[in-house]
Amino acid sequence: MEGILNFDAPLDVNLLDRVVNVVYNTQNEQERNQAQKVLERFKSHDGAWTRVDTILEHSQSDYTKFFATQVLDSLIKTRWKVLPADQRSGIKNYAVSLVLKLTKDPQTFKKHATLISRIDVAIVQILKVDWPHHWKNFIPEIVEASKQNENVCSNCMTILGMLSEEIFDFSEGKMTRSKIKELKETLTEEFYPIFQLCLFVMNASKNGNLLLTTLDTLDKYLSWIPIGYIFETDIVKLLITKFLSVREFRNSTLKCLTQIASLEVPGAAVSQKFESLYLGTLQRVVQILPPNTDMQLTYRREKEPEQNFINDLALFLSAFFVKHRSCLEKNEHIPALLTGHQYLVNISTVDEIEVFKVCVEYWNSLAESLYEENPVQASALMLNSATTTPRRQLYGPLLSRVRTILISRMAKPEEVLVVEDEDGEHAIRQRLPDGEAVERYQLMQSTLVYLTHLNYEDTESIMLSKLAAQRDGSQWSWHNLNTLCWAIGSIAESLPEHIERKFVVVVIKDLLILCRERTGKDNKAIVASNIMYVVGQYPRFLKAHWRFLVTVLLKLFEFMHELHPGVQDMAVDTILKIVTKCKSQFGKEQNGDETWTTKEVIGKLPSHISDLSEEPQVQTFYEGVGVLVSAHPPRLQGKLVVKLMELPNNTWRGLMQRAAQNTNNLADPAVQRSFANILRVNNRACMGVGPAYIHQFANIYLDALNLCKFYSEQISKQISQNSQATGWVNVKQMRAVKREVLRLVTTFISCSDEVQTIVKDFLPPLLPAVLQDYSRSVPQARDHEVLRLMAEIVSTCKGLVVDSVPIMFDCLFESTLSMITKNFEDFPDIRVNFYLFLRQINNHCFQAFVRMNPQQFKLVIQSVVWGFKHWDKKISETTLKILLEMFTQFSRNAQSDPSKSFYGNHLLPLLEDILFVLTDTFHKADFKLHCEVLIQIIYAVEADLVTTPLFNPQTQTDSNMNNRLFLRQYVSKLLLRPFGNVNPEHIHNFVLGLFDLNKEMVQFHNHLRDFLVQIKQYSAGDDNAVMYEREEAASRSAKAMAIPGMVQPHDPRRGDGRQLTTSRSDSGNSSSMMTA
């Protein structure tokens, strides 16, 4: 095999074919790996590209030819600029001549289609570098070549289409901004011959494949070419009159028209052109597909091309209406406008989800624009939100049909657990959420909320009529009831309050009657799940109607005894949601109403939970009752907490008594499971009760600590004797008990408002027991919950525990570092919580860092550096934030000795490490944070915060040397070493830019991106969009919050309720880490 690596001898193409064949076809894994290594060595050789022409000319294997194009592609992307001009020209000429040779003959063209496409890609990659300066005549040459024959012309069209895509669609992150600008300007200036070629083909050719390719190429250009090419030529007329009606071309033609429709050009004259475009297109579409066509039936019956036409029609209409709807909202064009919308209404009934989403997105846009004409303020008293405007009247009848369709097709919200099976025959529990359905629900919910604000009477009427049809059985089905109830729940708080009150009463009463009347286990389960979802969505109504609130909760208690899968989960989840949102009502006197009291609920608690089939359900219910307890005055909460925990406490005391008699009882798996379950119940109860949980916590605290210590010793003992013991069942169960103790303490501290009491009474027995145990335990026995607990202690107690931080460090720091610095994969949860612990110290007990000796603090910095080199985004992001916050802390007193020491000892090494991760290929998602750290470093020097020389004055020959000048030279030297392929002048300019632009974040980002493109570190298609996701999400969230009903009652963004933990959640809060 290695004979192909001898570049001093002619290449044995037959041998290369055999090596490639081994990679793709052999069953022997050892041979395949060996062949793969040989090919990798061949590809990485500096002279590999010189063999490409020989391989393509003489190889008999398509796989080998594909390998040759990979070699060529690698050369163009990474080494093209360093090749001599004559070699670049030779490769370029060879690629062009090879493509022309392979495309002249139709049979050859068809046979080598894959190879041709790969060479086309290579030509486009060369163009991105050489054009226009080193391939000035490319456009005239390719247009001239297109005249040879129709096959050559078709491939030239493909190359031109790819060039447009690469420059206008995919250039971000792959080329510098200046290069992108130059290519866009050049292609725009030289577009005329391309346009003429397209027109010539469209007018003269009768070759179907060539015409399709031309239309597809034109589609890629229409989004950016000067508007004159579109509306001052016959191209629109040609598309509509010649191609739109032809079945073979109509889909591609409609895509071209969609691109034109998506353009937004101001001016009355241009508006008239768009009107003509729409009217002409609509006239042809009506002939192809009449507007009264049953789109749902047609889509099911027809083949893929016709289905694609319906989809493309939806895209065209939605694109045109979004941009140019206003120019059609005139008297003479209203019939055509309504006809187009009628098409979209009918297409909205198509079963295909992607087609439906296109329509819903448009309806969302239209409804939002109509709503914005007269928006409802969230704080306003909503007596009448459906103010009529001329546009609302115009679209009113259409939107009524849209409401009906959306209600009948509503997607399933995440909270609903009881669903139909695939055959629609049985009601089952859904174990995992459907992410696509949740996303669709959010879009539909937003649209329905807008539509409800536009005409709440119509929305209410449609929903109640559909509910009546469920009652009388005329439209009864699980699907119909589900979608109706999901839609009803989705518009919570978007109706005027007095309307909502009547509406919810009717809905809940009808659903309760339906639950009574429908027989059969599955029927009742479906109705029950819908009742629970609907009542959980209307806390505003329940808060205002105490008796109804009590009735609903009593019904939910009944559902807790329903054994159908999923019903009990939804029951306890809904109880928790309702009591959390209506918490204020449970602490009030309700006009002497004694039908419901928290004390009574607690007294009947054993009965309520008697039929719950899973422990998480019990735990969720305890949290819900805990919320009820927290609603009462503090003077009453203590007794209620004691009463609430009576049942688990009795079991706890019994277990502890057995353990006191004989510690061997603690080895009983049933005992271990009971302890873990009781601790989880306490944990959830603590979440619900809040600060008053201290009355319960004090009772079990010391016993729980002793239990944790005992099991930890047993775990370490067994693992030290046998490293495989971590997988043993008894060890896992002991770890579960230990972990639940730690989680309970963490939750208690996070919920408590008596920080002094925690520090004085609870930490003294806790810290020695937990920390020493962690330090002494073998690595496999250590638990990440210890680190999370210490992080919570620092976060809650802040400066009160600054003197305890050194003790924490002594027991946790080095022992943990030894576990996580061997690689990036082992102990993922330990890693995440270790850096969380460091960040809390950095934020709340920074003096602990300041007081460390230099060697200890150096270790902290090194651990942070190790953290931001991780591939896991959560870890790298946390450590970069630690570093940013550390710079902020030191800059507050830059002239102090600790700050001088930090800058003098760590600034340059940190700079080097940040540049390392910034220029590698594994940490692109942290680009923004890298920039911020880099700016902090530069600012510290530029603002003269660093007064200690960063250089050695004794060895420095330049008398004018200072920190500013030195840092510029230092960065230049750092970058010149690893990036020898970059022109030194470029690096010099880049460094100057870093220091000149460090106060302008956007320009700084762009400057860095351009440099990263130059060093070929950013892969294709990566534009670092992830950096801006949070900012965009925050903007969208703020807008949604201003619209009543848009943000659901239990959405954490509302900020008027706690984050809910459901029975499906893991009982702990451990973090998981995705490893490479």
Give residue 425's pLDDT: 59
Q: Which of 503, 499, 493 is nearest to 539 (CA)?
A: 493
3-state secondary structure of 132: coil
Two structure tokens written together for 58: 């003489």
| Segments in the chain below pLDDT 50 | 379-385, 1017-1032, 1057, 1059-1060, 1062, 1064-1076
Single-letter amino acid, residue 1044: P
Cross-strand partners of 420: 427
Distance between alpha carbon 1024 and the CA centroid of its chain, in Å? Answer: 13
Transcribe 713-780 into DSSP letters: HHHHHHHHH-GGGGGSHHHHHHHHHHHHHHHHHHHHHHH-S-HHHIIIIIHHHHHHHHHHHHHHS-GG
Give residue 1040's pLDDT: 65
Give residue 722's pLDDT: 87
Continuous H helices in 383-455: 390-408, 435-454
Contact (Cβ atoms closer than 8 angstroms) between residue 739 and residue 783: yes
Continuous H helices in 131-226: 138-145, 150-164, 177-189, 191-204, 208-221
Give residue 370's pLDDT: 94
Return d(Cα 242, Cα 258) in angstroms, integer.
17
Q: Which of 430, 425, 415 is nearest to 565 (CA)?
A: 430
Give residue 1028's pLDDT: 38
Return d(Cα 302, Cα 128) in angstroms, integer.
42
| Tens of pLDDT, residues 673-729 | 999 999 999 999 999 999 999 999 999 999 999 999 999 999 999 988 888 888 899
Contact (Cβ atoms closer than 8 angstroms) between residue 302 and residue 313: no
Return d(Cα 703, Cα 655) in angstroms, integer.
11
Give residue 436's pLDDT: 85
Give residue 1024's pLDDT: 37
Whole-model pTM: value is 0.84
Return d(Cα 690, Cα 614) in angstroms, integer.
24
Return d(Cα 437, Cα 415) in angstroms, integer.
12
Give residue 797's pLDDT: 96
CA angle 336, 341, 344 (to 5 degrees): 135
Q: Which of 485, 522, 314 is nearest to 408 (CA)?
A: 485
Contact (Cβ atoms closer than 8 angstroms) between residue 1008 and residue 1019: no
Number of helices (H) and strands (E) in the chain: give both, helices first.
52, 2
Cross-strand partners of 427: 420
151 backbone φψ class: left, alpha, beta (φ>0; ψ -120 to 50):
alpha
How many residues are given for the chain?
1076
> Which residue bears the tokens 């993922």?
828
Backbone dihedral angles phi then psi of residue 420, each to the nearest 5 degrees: -75, 150
Q: How many CB atoms lie within 10 A of CB 1072?
A: 11
Give residue 667's pLDDT: 92
